[in-house]
Amino acid sequence: MDVASSDRIPKPRRPSRSEAEAAVRTLIRWAGDDPTREGLLETPDRVARAYEDFFRGYTQDPVAILAKTFEEVEGYNEMVLLKNMRLESYCEHHIVPILGVAHVAYLPDKRVVGISKLARLVDCFGKRLQTQETMTSQIADTLEKVLQPRGVAVLIDARHQCMTTRGVHKTEAATITTRMTGEFQTNMMMRQEFMTMVTSTAVGV
Ligand SMILES: Nc1nc2c(ncn2[C@@H]2O[C@H](COP(=O)(O)OP(=O)(O)OP(=O)(O)O)[C@@H](O)[C@H]2O)c(=O)[nH]1
Ligand SMILES: [Zn+2]
């Protein structure tokens, strides 16, 4: 998949800050409250600022995040796994949080990337309106395209507040999605090693 086409940075005109705040006042009225009462007066401003935080991924370039790589790793060519990264995202159907963890691994082909960049990549796609399947694919496909490793594995384990605080109210239900490429797709042992490492409890101090 072409990463550029899957990186859905929105193209429509961005509304002004005052238009965004007016929209929040409309939603407050729709919810049944009065946006002119004291406790709600500053809420449109706060919500606009919160949206800048929730959706900061639209201002980030996922390819640029992975631009800097290193080759001086003494020929290290085993799996690199960053596991248990907190994932914060937002359901594109209901605009409520998707919260969970992401595990990202790759098999380097000469080049490695700074490990924090894997976390930045997860945030870049997470902090947007998403489905879990889409962001799982976007993370894996960007790593695949930019780093050109021997394989990529991504697993996301998350709870959708649209299923816990509304709708079917299945509080404990967690959704797991995976995307495997290269040797993780073709070599069952490699896939199994990834799954074992992800589920093992050992954590460095
Ligand atoms: N596949 C997928 N579905 C999602 C994700 N996030 C939310 N959904 C689902 O999107 C669907 C939207 O269904 P609709 O029938 O259009 O909306 P709805 O009436 O609000 O659905 P309910 O949640 O069943 O009340 C629901 O089944 C959600 O559970 C996601 O990341 N991936
Ligand atoms: Zn939802």
Rounded to 5 degrees, what are φ and ψ at 83? -115, 165
Per-residue pLDDT at 72: 83
Catalytic residue among 60, 88, 92, 161: 92
Active site residue 132: yes
- Pairing between β-strand 129-130 and β-strand 80-91 as defined by DSSP bridges: parallel
How many Å apart are CA 110 and CA 72, to the nearest integer? 9
Half-sphere exposure of 204 (CA within 13 A, CB side): 2
- Which residues are 182's β-sheet partners? 151
Per-residue pLDDT at 1: 44
Per-residue pLDDT at 120: 98
- Indicate if the pLDDT at residue 134 is higher than 90: yes
How many Å apart are CA 156 and CA 197, to the nearest integer? 14
Per-residue pLDDT at 78: 94
Per-residue pLDDT at 128: 98
CA of 93 to the centre of ligand 1 (A): 6
Per-residue pLDDT at 96: 98
Q: For residue 34, what are the contacts with CB-CB under 8 A and spacing of at least 6?
A: 28, 40
Domains and CATH numbers, the chain: 13-54 (1.10.286.10), 61-199 (3.30.1130.10)
CA distances 155 to 28, 50, 87, 158, Å, are: 37, 27, 11, 10
- Indicate if the pLDDT at residue 178 is higher than 50: yes
- Indicate if the pLDDT at residue 5 is higher than 70: no
Per-residue pLDDT at 8: 58
| Mean pLDDT, residues 118-144 taken together | 98
DSSP, collapsed to helix, strand or coil, labels residue 106 as strand
CA of 132 to the centre of ligand 2 (A): 10
| Mean pLDDT, residues 169-193 taken together | 97
- Indicate if the pLDDT at residue 4 is higher than 50: no
DSSP state letter for 180 = E
Mean pLDDT of the chain: 94
How many Å apart are CA 50 and CA 37, to the nearest integer? 20
Q: Whose CA is nearest to atom 22 of ligand 1?
A: 167
Half-sphere exposure of 38 (CA within 13 A, CB side): 0
How many Å apart are CA 42 and CA 19, to the nearest integer? 15
| Mean pLDDT, residues 108-119 taken together | 95
Mutate which of 125, 162, 165, 166 for ligand 1 pocket (most atoms within 8 A of beta carbon): 162
ipTM of the complex: 0.93
- Indicate if the pLDDT at residue 51 is higher than 50: yes
Total-model pTM:
0.92
